[in-house]
Amino acid sequence: MAVICVDIAGRPYEVRVGAGLLAELVPNCRGLLRKRGVPIVTDAHVHAAWGEVVERSLRDNGHEPHWRILPAGEATKSWDELAATVNWLLELGVERGDSVIALGGGVIGDLTGFCASVLKRGCKFIQVPTTLLAQVDSSVGGKTAINTPAGKNLVGAFHQPSLVLADLSALDPLPRRDLLAGYAEVVKYGLIDDADFFAWCDANAAAMIDGDAALREYAVAHSVASKARIVAEDEFETTGKRALLNLGHTFGHALEAETGFSARLLHGEGVALGMVLAARYSARKGLMSQASAEHVARHIGEIGLPASLSALGLECDGRALVEHMLHDKKMDAGTLPFLLMKGIGQTYLDREVSLDDVALFLDGELARSPA
pLDDT for 66 equals 98
Last residue of a domain, one of 171, 197, 228: 171
Q: What is the CATH number of the domain that holds 242?
A: 1.20.1090.10
Question: 369 falls in which pLDDT band (50, 70, 90)?
Answer: confident
Question: Is 164 in the same domain as 192?
Answer: no
| Cα–Cα distance measured from residue 256 to residue 176, given in angstroms and rounded to the nearest whole number | 20
- Would 13 be classed as within a structural domain? yes
Question: Is 11 in the same domain as 157?
Answer: yes
Buried-state track 67-105, b at ≥16 Cβ within 10 A, e below 16: ebbbebebebbeeebbeebbeebeebebeeebbbbbbbb
Pick left, alpha or beta for residue 222 (phi over 0 → left; psi -120 to 50 → alpha; otherwise beta). alpha
Question: 371 falls in which pLDDT band (50, 70, 90)?
Answer: low
- Would 86 be classed as within a structural domain? yes
pLDDT for 152 equals 85
Question: Is 63 in the same domain as 157?
Answer: yes
Give yes or no for a contact between 85 and 112, defined as CB atoms under 8 angstroms apart. yes
| Cα–Cα distance measured from residue 244 to residue 261, given in angstroms and rounded to the nearest whole number | 23
Say whether 208 sits in a helix, a strand or coil.
Answer: helix
Question: Is 277 in the same domain as 321?
Answer: yes
Residue 31's Cα: distance from chain center in Å? 27
- Would 341 be classed as within a structural domain? yes
Alpha carbons within 13 angstroms on the beta-carbon side of residue 223 total 30
Give per-residue pLDDT as tens, 54-86: 999 999 999 999 999 999 998 999 999 999 999
Question: Is 80 in the same domain as 35?
Answer: yes
Q: What is the CATH number of the domain that holds 162?
A: 3.40.50.1970
pTM of the model: 0.96
Question: Is 160 in the same domain as 211?
Answer: no
pLDDT for 323 equals 95
- Would 25 be classed as within a structural domain? yes
CA dihedral 145, 244, 268, 222 (to 10 degrees): -110
Evaluate if residue 14 carries a pLDDT over 90. Answer: yes
Question: Is 155 in the same domain as 14?
Answer: yes
- Would 302 be classed as within a structural domain? yes
Give yes or no for a contact between 304 and 211, defined as CB atoms under 8 angstroms apart. no
Which of 23-32, 161-170, 201-210, 259-268 has the weakest average pLDDT?
Answer: 259-268
Question: Is 297 in the same domain as 228?
Answer: yes
Question: 94 falls in which pLDDT band (50, 70, 90)?
Answer: very high
pLDDT for 333 equals 78
Question: Is 149 in the same domain as 210?
Answer: no
Fill in the amino acid letter for 108.
I
Whole-number average pLDDT of the chain: 96
Give per-residue pLDDT as tens, 130-187: 999 999 999 999 999 999 888 889 999 999 999 999 999 999 999 999 999 999 999 9
Q: List the one residue out of 121, 163, 119 whose CA is nearest residue 142.
A: 163
- Would 176 be classed as within a structural domain? no
Give yes or no for a contact between 165 and 17, defined as CB atoms under 8 angstroms apart. no
| Cα–Cα distance measured from residue 46 to residue 69, given in angstroms and rounded to the nearest whole number | 9
Q: List the one residue out of 132, 143, 144 whose CA is nearest residue 181.
A: 132
Question: Is 199 in the same domain as 150?
Answer: no
- Would 179 be classed as within a structural domain? no
| Cα–Cα distance measured from residue 16 to residue 28, given in angstroms and rounded to the nearest whole number | 9
Burial zone of 335 (CB within 10 Å; 0-12 exposed, 13-18 middle, 19+ buried): exposed
Last residue of a domain, one of 112, 144, 171: 171
As annotated, the active-site residues are 121, 143, 185, 227, 237, 242, 246, 249, 253, 267
Which structural domain, as residue segments, surrounds residue 207? 185-367
pLDDT for 354 equals 95
Q: How far is CA 275 from CA 224, 253, 287, in A?
A: 19, 11, 15
The total number of structural domains that make up the chain: 2
Last residue of a domain, one of 142, 171, 200: 171
Question: Is 155 in the same domain as 225?
Answer: no
- Would 180 be classed as within a structural domain? no
Question: Is 346 in the same domain as 209?
Answer: yes
